Amino acid sequence: MVVNELASVQEVIMLYIGSLSKKSRNSDYLQELYRFSQWCGPDKQIDKVSAPEIGDYNESTIIRLGIENSANRLTEVKKLLVYAYKEGFITQNLSQHVRLRRPRKNVSSKNFTNGKSNSSNKESLTKQGIAELNRELESLKKGRQPIADEIKRAAADGDVKENAPLEFARQEMGKLVARIDEIENMLANYGVIEANEDSDFINLGSKVVLLDVKSKKKVKYMVVAAPEARPFDGRISNLSPIGKAVYKKSVGEVVDVKTPRGLIKYEIIKVS
């Protein structure tokens, strides 16, 4: 079998995409193929990709998506590797190292420790924060198809090596995929803040009113987890200087906050 030693992972992916019928194309498969190219290295010669690399990608995808949700995504990578082998880009059929697993019956998809779910160990987001992330995720997923179409058009223009529109579209897809991954991971790993009847102590989701002891100026904040922090909107992270200082404190306490302007003393005058 003659191998095209100049073919990179990204080039073979572009050729593979071009070989598919319009009916077979969708933004989901492109997203997963892009992840695969980033995993191996888009400019790496595809005949240099090793079986252990494929196995590692296989396992990482299952860990990221779970057994049930990873099957369709891994199938796309498997088809790519079958194509690469049949077209002579690789001498070893690496597709056999993409192993699709079936979910075991009567086993929860949650992680358990000593027989108990570890979901209680999750960090938490407010319902508002989760709603905003879901809206952003939906918008990003809708944005995949136009970029996927642009990649197809650019790839069809000729040489995939010297193709500025293709490179730009690939970069845009990379940013979009990275943000989708980030949001999906947050939604999977963060819990929802439940209403806390004991509002005397500041927790995630608490709204606080602070009094600058020196200037007597009042400020209002909502303490949230880092992913939904928006300081200019009054939502501060529990890891920020003010957030760390007031976290788990109660009304009447005075806290010291280190700022670029020096030390500021705040009195907690209201928590809700």
Going from the N-terminus, what domains does the chain have, and what CATH number goes with each? 1-103 (1.10.150.130), 122-194 (1.10.287.180), 207-271 (3.10.50.30)
Residue 119 clears pLDDT 50, i.e. is over it = no
Average pLDDT over residues 18-41: 75
Residue 17 clears pLDDT 60, i.e. is over it = yes
Whole-number percent of the chain with pLDDT over 70: 81
Contact 19, 86 (CB under 8 A): no
Residue 25 clears pLDDT 70, i.e. is over it = no
Average pLDDT over residues 42-63: 86
Strand partners, 218: 211
For residue 108, the model assigns a pLDDT of: 38
Whole-number percent of the chain with pLDDT over 90: 19
Nearest to residue 86, comparing CAs of 2, 192, 182, 161?
Answer: 2
Residue 249 clears pLDDT 90, i.e. is over it = yes
DSSP state of 154: H
Average pLDDT over residues 121-142: 82
The tokens describing 133, both together, are 């992330």
The angle, 0 to 180 degrees and rounded to 10, between the axes of the packed helices 27-40 and 51-86 is 130
Residue 172 clears pLDDT 70, i.e. is over it = yes
The tokens describing 119, both together, are 């979901």
For residue 32, the model assigns a pLDDT of: 80
Please give the distance of CA 252 from its chain centroid, rounded to a whole number.
40
Please give the sequence-ordered ranges of beta strands (E in DSSP) within the chain, or none if there are none: 112-113, 116-117, 123-125, 190-192, 207-212, 218-224, 235-237, 254-259, 262-271
Rounded to whole angstroms, the Cα distance separating 230 from 74 reads 36
pTM given for the model: 0.51
The tokens describing 29, both together, are 């498969």
For residue 27, the model assigns a pLDDT of: 62
List the Cα angle 217/220/221 in 5-degree steps: 140
**In which residue are the tokens 């695969």 written?**
36
